Structure 1
């Protein structure tokens, strides 16, 4: 019985087996397409019952209670005896506890620099920061000022008010990023610190030429406290106002429009110029994952990340609940025991957090993930970390904390994509790469978001939302490394101003979702 391994799945375009085996020690293989009872896999294995595309098929008898492996790693435990050829999923596989060897740093190795420097056409700010987009942003200190902020931004919408920005072609837009927080929380607590850190990260983000912060006036998250805690100083590119001090909603909207008008001339006074790829900070996301995510789009993105790191750039791996069970593969690549321990501390925090909230980390995967072939969070995590490539883990950050290191880093975030990406952008991500198997229509602002599909069926169904089809790996037409190079080149082009699919559709403002962690009183 012969199966294709991970290294050869995309390299044998002339011979497409009905299943993919990712590691010689695996107990399961993955169906390329739907399998039906009686089909023969190789010379020895007969399919028992229906196995949907992207789902798992047992290659040997697996006794009750025994660990089941995919990627050469444990993805769960058999809840009953599973026969060879049988569908392996939620009906016969579940979570279980097992020891993981963190082996801090044993696989860390130097990353050779790229032979030739890669560049993109970036926007260099006066202080040396490099932008991939050029927006004016309107932030709110509290939900109470969200309507006013939206009304100010709506005045400058190109689809409804085409003349408002007609004289400012170098301004990508005026956007309002509103949220549901800012009051009825502990004035000295972690929740206020987190929303301030998030807003501060956006206020100083290089993709904003200028920012206006709008508040109500009596909220817990006072603008003065926000500015002080984040080291922000009002000036020509940072203005503030409150509805109460300005005299009501209509006056605030009118005054806000005038403030934005005053910012436009300077914001438009930019040009793109060649800059090194080391100025790229990429947030890595996966959403609507399926059984192919860890075979196609995620490892291809990982190959692009390896290229980015070799060029001195930075990639932010996140979604802590979605590395759970695979964290030992990251700690082995940590540059120091201290960095590895920081990741494990965040894993333990999530275990305690879920226990406190009567939740289970295995509640992630979602219903869509399971329909796509993923069974446990262990299996999902093992595929998810492939987005991070193979280079060293150089640091671990709190949610929305400014990322200062170059290379592969980790940021603690929830698995919910808008919340996670919001933290990454606050940390400095000037582009997002987002893999999806079930289909996503996510977009981000002020940082562009590229969506990478895991399978060709998704591409054919939802091409208007997907920037690149990585299903060609599964189809045998391309290799992981080929797609990694194409993704890297797409990243450079998008950072240079090429619009992503989500930007064309106008996504971004509604996807600003800061993590709400504290009690609302």
Structure 2
């Protein structure tokens, strides 16, 4: 067979494996451009040995050891999970916290978007009426209200994009004062303060729950609560369900009138707060979608904006590459502390980090969590890490922050929403209908096969990088411009067009009672 159209991607000169980029994979007997003959069929996205690897030998991708061969692997052979042993994670105790030499980034000026300016200086990319809850018991009521408001009131207020219920499974039957309870409580509270809600929120409680609605009130700069309201279902002034709904609809109308006054105005790109996340990853994720997102991350940081990346178990095995990028030892220590906290959390649950790599990840060519982590951190670009957020904490600084979250897509998205993102970028290789109703979610496909098959679910095809049609830089700029257009309301993302939105899922490490 001719080698001309056989594409195998090697990420660094140190690698002894390559990734098959041909959509249909490569057949047994195929000759590669360097003369290597494939000993078996290798699916698209999977690894081929570029040299013999002895038993116990390092399997290297991204210039890092992603596993050890548990038997002799011959040149041209398919390398998958069964032929590899997992390396130990980097020892947190031996990672240096010395002062790092961080190069200053070149400013990027003149880029803007059309957003909704809030009184606290934050900027929304949507104009949404949010209805949050203090306890799961009222979820049925809020769902009923959202449908009724959308049908009867929302059409009367054209400047309001949507009304959403921020339902969750917390609030009662929980140890509300346990130390770990701070995570779900601050998550619920901070979600209500997301810029896309315009500084106000409707809160609906039952009345007898442990988590008191008053504790969820956002604190406005002027200490005014005129744009925040609390309603209890158990309020004795209500006579029957319909009376209750009628009263809350009047409150909703007051909120909609206020939101309808908001207008888009030109805002600098420095007002962007972008959450970067990946899910349903494959071996192309670390070659195409994540590096393109990383390039866009660097552009946003250069423009003075804020970006957060997350997913502790998907950075843990690459932590030795991230600590040298922190701006000082204090931030480096905070990053290591979040890794240690999660190590202990997993140990307490009697699971380990290897549980992260899913069956879909493996089908897409990712053999170990180490390989997955090395590809995952590519979405953080090359910018210095200026801050580390605990789960559900609000973003504090401009630049690149690490927001500690589990890797679960919907939990991570919920926590980034609480941290204050006004834009979300989600990279996928296997495909997912993931979306959030509160913020726009741009979905980036890591391979063209998925992007073309899911043409109306994927917003940007980064697979063009693997085929050589575009460079990482070109795709990164394209993503950056798409972020600006979506933030301005000029373009609508696929999940909003289709109405595909995930429920919020709290991270609750605290005990139930």
Q: TM-score, normalised by structure 1?
A: 0.93
Alpha-carbon contact 1:459-1:469 (below 8 Å) kept: yes
Q: Does 370-379 or 184-193 show the bigger shift?
A: 184-193
Aligned-partner Cα distance in 2 for 1:17–1:23: 19
2:120·2:220 contact (CA, 8 Å) conserved in 1? no
Q: Is the 8 A contact 2:317 2:373 kept in 1?
A: yes
- When structure 1 is superposed on structure 2, of 288-297 and 353-362 the one drifting more is 353-362
Partner of 1:128: 121
Q: What is the match of residue 344 of structure 1?
A: 336
SS of residue in 2 equivalent to 1:113: coil
SS at match of 1:301: helix
User: Structure 1 residue 405: deviation in Å?
Assistant: 0.6
In the TM superposition, what is the alpha-carbon distance from 1:18 to its structure 2 partner?
2.1
**d(CA) in 1 for partners of 2:409, 2:46:** 23
Distance 1:143 1:411 in 2: 26
- Whether 1:39 aligns to 2:17 is no
C-alpha offsets along residues 357-411 of structure 1, whole Å, 9 cap, x if unaligned? 1111111111111100001111001001000110101110001101011111001
Say which of 355, 362, 369 aligns to 2:347.
Answer: 355
In terms of mean alpha carbon deviation, does 313-322 or 118-127 score higher?
118-127
2:189 corresponds in structure 1 to 200
CA distance in 1, matches of 2:267, 2:500: 27
Contact 1:102 1:329 in 2 (8 A): no
Q: Is the contact made by 1:278 and 1:312 (CA closer than 8 Å) also made in structure 2?
A: yes
Deviation at residue 182 of structure 1 after TM alignment: 1.2
Asked whether the 8 Å contact 2:192–2:218 carries over to 1, the reply is no
The equivalences for 1:105-124 within 5 A come to: 106=100, 108-114=102-108, 116-124=109-117
Quote how far apart the aligned CAs of 1:27 are.
Answer: 1.4
Which of 25, 44, 61 is 1:53 aligned to?
Answer: 44
How far did 1:230 drift? 11
The alpha carbon displacement at 1:35 in A equals 1.7
302-311 or 60-69, larger mean C-alpha shift: 60-69
Match for residue 102 of structure 1? 95
Which range moved further: 96-105 or 144-153?
96-105
Unaligned runs of 5+ in 2: none
Distance in 2 of aligned mates of 1:229 and 1:488: 32
Partner of residue 495 from structure 2, selected from 495, 502, 520? 502
Equivalent position to 2:279, from 269, 287, 290: 287
Residues 396-435 of structure 1 correspond to what in structure 2 (within 5 A)? 396-435=388-427
Give 3-state SS (helix, strand or coil) of 1:359's partner.
coil
Tell me, yes or no, if the aligned pair for 1:196 and 1:230 is still in contact at 8 Å. no
| 1:188 matches 2:180 | no
Partner deviation per Cα, 1:122-180 (whole Å, 9 max, x = no partner): 111233221111000000111101111111111122xxx2x522221100011111011
In structure 2, relative to structure 1, the CA distance for the partners of 1:294 and 1:43 (3 Å cut) is: closer
Counterpart Cα distance in 2 of 1:205 and 1:229: 12
Cα 1:208–1:150 change in 2 (3 A) is same
Give the alignment partner of residue 230 of structure 2, picking from 214, 218, 240: 240
Determine if the alignment matches structure 1 residue 67 to structure 2 residue 43. Answer: no
Contact 1:64/1:79, CA 8 A, preserved across alignment: yes
Are 2:379 and 1:387 aligned? yes
Name the residue aligned to 1:179. Answer: 168
SS in 2 for 1:396: strand
1:260 aligned to 2:252? yes
Query: Which runs of structure 2 are paired with 1:139-218 in the superposition (5 Å)?
Result: 139-157=132-150, 161=151, 163-209=152-198, 210-218=200-208
Q: Which residue of 2 aligns with 1:324?
A: 316
Corresponding residue SS for 2:60: strand
1:178-216: CA deviation from partner (whole Å, max 9, x where unpaired): 011111111211343222211211222110033111111
Question: Is this contact kept in 1: 2:193–2:218, CA < 8 A?
Answer: no
CA distance in 1, matches of 2:221, 2:159: 28
Evaluate the alpha carbon distance shift between residue 358 and residue 231 of structure 1 in structure 2; reply closer, same or farther with a 3 A threshold: farther
Maintained 8 Å contact 1:450/1:467:
yes
Question: What is the match of residue 224 of structure 1?
Answer: 214
Give the TM-score normalised by the residue count of structure 2: 0.94
| Distance change (3 Å), C-alpha of 1:394 and 1:352 | same
Q: Does residue 1:468 correspond to 2:444, yes or no?
A: no
**Aligned residue number for residue 10 of structure 1:** none
CA 396–231 in structure 1, closer or farther in 2 if over 3 Å, else same: same
Greater Cα offset, 263-272 or 22-31: 263-272
- Post-superposition CA distance 1:301-347 (Å, at most 9, x none): 11111100000001101011111211111111110111111111111
Q: Which residue does 1:24 correspond to in 2? A: 13
1:121·1:274 contact (CA, 8 Å) conserved in 2?
A: yes
Distance in 2 separating the partners of 1:354 and 1:298: 26
Q: Which residue of 2 aligns with 1:9?
A: none
Q: Secondary structure at the match of 1:244?
A: coil
**SS at the partner of 1:380?**
helix
CA contact 2:6–2:26 (8 Å) conserved in 1: no
Distance 2:245 2:55 in 1: 65
Given that residues 102 and 332 in structure 1 are in contact (C-alpha distance below 8 angstroms), is that contact kept between their aligned partners in structure 2? Answer: no
How many residue pairs match? The answer is: 502
Q: CA RMSD in A?
A: 2.0
CA distance 1:480–1:347, shift in 2 (3 Å): same
Task: Provide structure 1 residue ranges, at least 5 long, that are not aligned to the other structure.
Answer: 4-14
